[in-house]
């Protein structure tokens, strides 16, 4: 047997120590929770997410988390590429309507057995509805915030026009009252357009988010959520009737064109009403002050519906520590953190317990109406289907065409064909449609 020299034994000890250090470092890196975020809207969102992670790391040094910002414009492509290369993070954020495609593709884990029942019960019903996957009824995404849609108005102009001002959700305008209000406001001196519907946002997700609630209120939808076929639903009688109303407002000259830009209501003040979401509170309140009034979504048809949905979080199926990632997600969704995010950024708080700590959304707050609408079950999530990117693109094009004067039935027929073709090309996206 060979006898080790003192120098040799020292070298072996050094190599063993180095190996242990490398192994320790490797384990530490492997245990780090990798978090992806889309970077936000340039309003400091990423800094606030980083601050939450810093707070988590301080409280949980044995389960560190690391934030990576991905460019928003190519975010979905980044996710798809990472999935193909097996390099998805542990905790992933994504725009709500896209989660169904991620679940169908096998990227995400159900959260029901990972997060507490208390958190699920505290989460806004609209957030739960958005994240519930139809084939298995499980929740795959949760969001720290939600969004709200409504009508903003000038109290003085409404009074001058002799238009009734609704006092709450139960008192919302009907379609007949809404169109009567448009006709009366159009005649008020100084009003060039009775309504701004943000055509300046351009053809895209706004057209689906903003105008699908009119279709759904009147009994239609973007797709049949049982058969998962678009034909007969997106181009059905209710949808055609809804977009015919929209086209009628445009033809009557009530609607501010895209060329008016973003500030027809609050800047130029050429528009009497603005159909848009909670994110316009800073600009609207600054410009109109006490003359600003927030009106509930009109009850266009038999069903009362509001737009909803926002970016949310999901735990990836490739994560090696889903229980720890779930703890981080619960930390993000805590009452304190959700309230802090809402206070800082103005979004609708995603958990019910946070609203009382947010001045804008607490009882009596200027934006509490959004909480009332979402807690009241008015929020209808956009279709949770793998073909959603095609569904929204097809509907948005139909809306744009209708605004430009195309026959609503013809525009929606084309949307139905495009959607059903995509679904057929993917063999029905089983298990959707009972396949």
What average pLDDT does the structure give for the chain? 92
264 shares a domain with 330: no
32 shares a domain with 115: yes
Q: Is residue 4 part of a domain?
A: no
Which of the listed residues 357, 375, 393 is the one where a domain comes to its end?
375
Could you tell me the residue range of the domain that residue 333 belongs to?
A: 11-143+309-375
Q: Is residue 213 part of a domain?
A: yes
User: 433 near 227, Cβ under 8 Å?
Assistant: yes
Looking at the predicted structure, is the pLDDT value of residue 14 above 70?
Answer: no
pTM: 0.89
Which of the listed residues 359, 375, 391 is the one where a domain comes to its end?
375
Q: Is residue 218 part of a domain?
A: yes
Q: Is residue 30 part of a domain?
A: yes
Residue 67 is predicted with a pLDDT of 96
Which SS3 state, helix, strand or coil, does residue 142 take?
Answer: strand
366 shares a domain with 241: no
What torsion, rounded to 10 degrees, do the Cα atoms 267, 272, 278, 283 define? 20
User: 222 near 230, Cβ under 8 Å?
Assistant: yes
389 shares a domain with 364: no
Per residue in 15-37, pLDDT (tens digit) is 444 444 444 444 444 489 999 99
Per residue in 266-302, pLDDT (tens digit) is 999 999 999 999 999 999 999 999 999 999 999 999 9
Q: Quick one: pLDDT band at residue 144, thresholds 50, 70, 90?
A: very high
User: 306 near 149, Cβ under 8 Å?
Assistant: yes
Residue 411 is predicted with a pLDDT of 98
313 shares a domain with 409: no
Residue 42 is predicted with a pLDDT of 57
Looking at the predicted structure, is the pLDDT value of residue 43 above 70?
Answer: no
390 shares a domain with 346: no
DSSP annotation of 306:
B
302 shares a domain with 313: no
407 shares a domain with 430: yes
Q: Is residue 1 part of a domain?
A: no
Nearest to 214 by CA among 251, 257, 248, 185: 248
Q: Quick one: pLDDT band at residue 8, thresholds 50, 70, 90?
A: very low
Looking at the predicted structure, is the pLDDT value of residue 101 above 50?
Answer: yes
Total domains, the chain:
2
123 shares a domain with 29: yes
133 shares a domain with 54: yes
37 shares a domain with 82: yes
Q: Is residue 130 part of a domain?
A: yes
Pairing of β 138-139 and β 132-133: antiparallel
Identify the helix (H) or strand (E) that includes residue 68: strand 65-69
Return the CATH number at 202. 3.40.190.10
Please give the span between the terminal C-alpha atoms of the chain, in angstroms, as a whole number.
Answer: 69
The residue-averaged pLDDT of 352-359 equals 97
Which of the listed residues 375, 395, 416 is the one where a domain comes to its end?
375
Q: Is residue 3 part of a domain?
A: no
Nearest to 371 by CA among 121, 120, 124, 123: 124
207 shares a domain with 353: no
In 313-387, which residue ranges form alpha helices assigned H by DSSP? 322-332, 335-345, 368-375
């Amino acid at each position: 047997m060979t006898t080790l020299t003192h120098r040799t034994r020292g070298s072996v000890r050094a190599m063993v120590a180095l190996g242990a250090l490398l192994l320790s470092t490797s384990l530490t890196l492997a245990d780090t929770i990798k978090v992806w975020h889309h970077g936000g809207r340039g309003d400091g969102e990423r800094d606030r997410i980083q601050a939450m992670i810093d707070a988590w790391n301080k409280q949980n040094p044995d389960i560190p988390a690391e934030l990576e910002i991905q460019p928003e414009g190519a975010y979905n492509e980044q996710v798809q590429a990472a999935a193909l290369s097996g390099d998805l993070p542990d905790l992933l954020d994504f725009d709500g309507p896209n989660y169904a495609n991620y679940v169908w593709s096998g990227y995400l884990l159900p959260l029901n057995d990972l997060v507490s029942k208390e958190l699920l019960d505290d989460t806004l019903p609209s957030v739960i509805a958005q994240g519930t996957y139809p084939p298995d009824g499980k929740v795959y995404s949760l969001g720290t915030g939600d969004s709200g849609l409504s009508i903003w108005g000038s109290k003085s102009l409404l009074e001058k026009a002799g238009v009734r001002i609704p006092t709450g959700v139960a008192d919302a305008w009907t379609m007949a009252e809404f169109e009567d209000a448009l006709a009366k406001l159009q005649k008020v001196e100084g009003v060039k357009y009775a309504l701004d519907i943000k055509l300046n946002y351009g053809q895209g997700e706004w057209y689906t988010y903003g105008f699908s609630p009119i279709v759904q209120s009147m009994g239609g939808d973007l797709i049949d959520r049982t058969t998962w076929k678009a034909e007969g639903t997106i181009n059905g009688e209710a949808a055609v009737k809804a977009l015919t109303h929209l086209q009628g407002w445009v033809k009557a000259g009530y609607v501010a064109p895209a060329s008016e830009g973003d500030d027809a209501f609050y800047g130029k003040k050429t528009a009497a009403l603005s159909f848009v979401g909670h994110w316009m509170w800073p600009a609207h309140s600054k410009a109109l002050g006490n003359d600003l009034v927030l009106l509930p979504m009109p009850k266009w048809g038999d069903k009362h519906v509001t737009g909803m949905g926002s970016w949310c979080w999901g735990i990836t199926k490739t994560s090696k520590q889903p229980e720890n990632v779930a703890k981080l997600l619960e930390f993000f969704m805590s009452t304190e953190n959700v309230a802090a995010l809402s206070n800082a950024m103005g979004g609708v708080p995603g958990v019910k317990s946070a609203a009382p700590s947010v001045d804008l959304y607490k009882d009596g707050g200027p934006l509490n109406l959004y909480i009332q609408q979402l807690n009241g079950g008015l929020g209808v999530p956009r279709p949770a289907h793998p073909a959603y990117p095609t569904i929204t693109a097809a509907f948005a094009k139909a809306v744009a065409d209708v605004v430009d004067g195309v026959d609503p039935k013809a525009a929606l027929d084309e949307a139905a064909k495009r959607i059903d073709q995509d679904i057929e090309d993917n063999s029905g996206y089983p298990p959707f449609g009972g396949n």
